[in-house]
């Protein structure tokens, strides 16, 4: 009986959120808070799922029923990944899945997409299907859409490739950027945000004010293109300025909050080269770019504004097999 453990990193959006849902590019970095999952072959033709960290204990389903009937929301990522893998490649064994995530679900680092990537990578390994990153991405992205109906897939790409990526909607472009560090401070608002809900609200706004919203997306997309060059040239002051402009557009879209604004402006007042919310908005995290010397002052300012510092590294390694 084979057993293997796979891990995948979380993500933070650097620039381009929301616009990336509509065909524009974004910049995303993987963060070293990893989702871990162990897959074991079993004799019975069942999927067994034991994921106390996801709130699922001893869930099981016959393989021929996978993806059918009621699926508890917390089992959906793994069961739907399983369904999509089995539909494409078949499987000739029962599987037990156990998770051990280091993720705090509240930060918004993308535990759903990391769990989908881990499941798919582990299944492909155990079935000896050699999938390219792009093939893995396509299966995982389909699973994200099956589960939540919306999303650009940037989080799936970050979990698979790791590092820092230039990414276009649905994986139309996925370019790893050759940098070796990213001097970020990450501040958590203490408020959990509902990404799917906020993405739907922006869709409504786009229907009501198509020209205005399209103008904002186009402007954000221009910032992302410049941001990509700034990253590659390690021009942190320029990247900081672009992040600030991006934050202004996110405020125009109406997705920032008073708490996010206050953490962002405190970080800037303490010397951050740039600061912005990261992700859908409404809560979760903000990021600030530091110059190597003023990290502590920025952290202190964010705490004074009521934020919590999340001390994890950006530009983390992508999905990997932990043992064989």
Q: How far is the CB of 199 from ligand PMV (least distance, A)?
A: 5
> Of 304, 306, 266, 257, whose CA–CA distance to 288 is shortest?
266
Marked catalytic residue, from 43, 146, 155, 235: 155
Give dist(CA 244, CA 258) in Å, integer.
Answer: 16
Which residue's CB is nearer to ligand PMV, number 240 or number 281?
A: 281
Q: 81, 143 in Cβ contact below 8 A?
A: yes
Q: How far is the CB of 204 from ligand PMV (least distance, A)?
A: 14
Q: How far is the CB of 282 from ligand PMV (least distance, A)?
A: 8
Which residue's CB is nearer to ligand PMV, number 26 or number 270?
A: 26
Annotated active-site residue 155? The verdict is: yes
Q: How far is the CB of 22 from ligand PMV (least distance, A)?
A: 9
- Bridge-based pairing of strands 46-51 and 3-15 is unpaired
Q: In the bound complex, which residue of the shown chain has the CB atom lying closest to ligand PMV?
A: 279
Which residue's CB is nearer to ligand PMV, number 84 or number 193?
A: 193
Which residue's CB is nearer to ligand PMV, number 75 or number 250?
A: 250
Q: How far is the CB of 129 from ligand PMV (least distance, A)?
A: 27
Which residue's CB is nearer to ligand PMV, number 115 or number 127?
A: 115
**Which tokens go with 321?**
């097999």
Give the interface with ligand PMV as residue ranges (CB under 6 A). Answer: 13, 17-18, 20-21, 108, 110, 151-152, 154-155, 195, 199, 279-280, 284
Which residues are known catalytic residues?
155
């Amino acid at each position: 009986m084979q057993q293997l453990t796979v891990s995948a990193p979380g993500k933070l959006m650097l620039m381009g959120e929301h616009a990336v849902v509509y065909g524009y590019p974004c910049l995303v970095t993987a963060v070293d808070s990893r989702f871990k999952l162990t897959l074991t072959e079993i004799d019975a033709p069942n999927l067994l799922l034991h994921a106390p960290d996801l709130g699922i204990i001893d869930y099981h389903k016959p393989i021929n029923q996978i993806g059918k009937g009621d699926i508890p929301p917390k089992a959906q990522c793994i069961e739907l990944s399983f369904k999509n893998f089995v539909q494409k490649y078949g499987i000739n064994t029962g599987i037990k899945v156990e998770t051990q995530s280091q993720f705090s679900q509240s930060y918004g680092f993308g535990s759903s997409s990391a769990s989908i990537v881990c499941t798919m990578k582990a299944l492909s390994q155990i079935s000896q299907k050699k999938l390219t990153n792009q093939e893995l991405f396509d299966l995982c992205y389909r699973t994200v859409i099956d589960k939540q109906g919306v999303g650009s897939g940037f989080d799936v790409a970050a979990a698979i490739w790791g590092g820092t990526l230039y990414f276009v909607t649905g994986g139309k472009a996925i370019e790893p950027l050759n940098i070796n560090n990213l001097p970020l401070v990450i501040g958590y608002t203490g408020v959990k945000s509902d990404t799917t809900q906020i993405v739907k609200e922006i869709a409504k706004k786009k229907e009501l004010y198509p020209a205005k919203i399209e103008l904002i997306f186009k402007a954000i997309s221009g910032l992302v293109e410049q941001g990509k060059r700034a990253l590659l040239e390690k021009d942190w002051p320029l990247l900081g300025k672009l992040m600030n402009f991006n934050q202004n557009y996110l405020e125009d879209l109406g997705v920032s909050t008073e708490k996010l604004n206050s953490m962002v402006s405190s970080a800037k007042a303490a010397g951050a080269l740039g600061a912005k919310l990261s992700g859908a908005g409404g809560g979760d995290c903000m990021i600030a770019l530091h110059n190597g010397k003023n990290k502590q002052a920025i952290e202190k300012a964010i705490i004074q504004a009521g934020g919590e510092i999340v001390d994890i590294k950006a530009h983390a390694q992508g999905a990997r097999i932990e043992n064989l």
